[in-house]
């Protein structure tokens, strides 16, 4: 049986309770050793970030400081090139050659997986774990349907048996909170408390982040 590390990537612009609850669900349900939050520097498939990488790292630090099993991994921030997950998982596999690595995705991210660079090769380095929220549509195209059927694991314990190569679907209590909606509300001078940790919101107010609508 191998130890398992969860990998949670994203812009985290800003980090909010949806991200944190997703990570906690995966941590507890899958018995993960840790969850590594990996903020990207230059997102390929999304609009440009509003907060700087340094500000997003500061927000992450504030958000996870009470969770010793949550870690910040800044390898994509340090990378000069755009943030491709395939490059990140290759790097992580070198750092953790004997650990099961699980790329943690929300169902919406998995639906776009075939748009990622070298997406089929991800399973050469990690498992993919998809968090499925109740009552959320999960309609895959033909390509991803075939990909899932070829690699799906039915038992979560299989994630500990193998270092990589499987896809596991896990029901979670993912919160329907959107970072873009939070930014829009702040730009409209609305109060977004209770959508993210107070320490994160206080930092946003102090530094006047997201005041201009993206």
Helix (H) or strand (E) holding 81: none
- Specify the higher pLDDT residue, 137 or 189: 189
CATH number for the domain harbouring residue 171: 3.40.50.620
Spatial distance between the Cα atoms of 88 and 10, rounded to a whole number of angstroms: 12
Closest to 35 measured CA to CA, from 15, 52, 14? 15
Would residue 32 count as lying in a domain?
Answer: yes
Question: What's the confidence (pLDDT) of residue 44?
Answer: 65
Structure tokens at 68: 């010793």
Would residue 199 count as lying in a domain?
Answer: no
pLDDT in tens, 51-101: 999 999 999 999 999 999 999 999 999 988 788 999 999 999 999 999 999
**Does residue 14 have a cis peptide bond before it, meaning omega lies within 30 degrees of 0?**
yes
Domains of the chain: total? 1
Average pLDDT over residues 162-190: 92
Q: Mean of the per-residue pLDDT values for the chain?
A: 93
Spatial distance between the Cα atoms of 28 and 158, rounded to a whole number of angstroms: 16
Would residue 201 count as lying in a domain?
Answer: no
Cα distances from 121 to residues 60, 87, 131, in angstroms, run 29, 10, 20
Structure tokens at 69: 């099993």
The C-alpha R_g of the chain, in whole angstroms, comes to 17
Would residue 80 count as lying in a domain?
Answer: yes
User: 């985290």: which residue's tokens?
Assistant: 12
Would residue 157 count as lying in a domain?
Answer: yes
The distance in angstroms from the start CA to the end CA of the chain is: 46
- For residue 82, the enclosing domain spans 4-176
Would residue 184 count as lying in a domain?
Answer: no
Structure tokens at 100: 């099961």
Would residue 187 count as lying in a domain?
Answer: no
């Amino acid at each position: 049986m191998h130890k398992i590390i969860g990998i949670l990537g994203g812009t985290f612009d800003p980090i909010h309770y949806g991200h944190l609850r997703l990570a906690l669900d995966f941590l507890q349900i899958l018995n993960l050793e840790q969850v590594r939050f990996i903020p990207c520097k230059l997102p390929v498939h999304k609009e440009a970030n509003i907060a700087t990488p340094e500000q997003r790292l500061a927000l992450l630090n504030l958000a996870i400081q009470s969770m010793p099993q949550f870690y910040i991994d800044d390898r994509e921030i340090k990378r000069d090139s755009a943030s491709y997950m395939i490059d990140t998982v290759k790097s992580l596999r070198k750092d953790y050659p004997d650990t099961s690595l699980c790329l943690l995705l929300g169902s919406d991210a998995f639906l776009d997986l075939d748009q990622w660079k070298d997406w089929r090769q991800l399973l050469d380095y990690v498992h993919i774990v998809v968090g499925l929220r109740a009552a959320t549509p999960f309609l895959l195209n033909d390509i991803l349907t075939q990909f899932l059927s070829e690699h799906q694991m039915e038992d979560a314990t299989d994630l500990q048996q193998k270092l990589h190569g499987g896809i596991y679907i896990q029901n979670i209590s993912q919160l329907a909170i959107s970072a873009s909606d939070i930014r829009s509300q702040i730009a409209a001078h609305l109060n977004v408390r209770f959508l993210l940790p107070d320490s994160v919101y206080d930092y946003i107010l102090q530094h006047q982040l997201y005041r201009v609508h993206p």
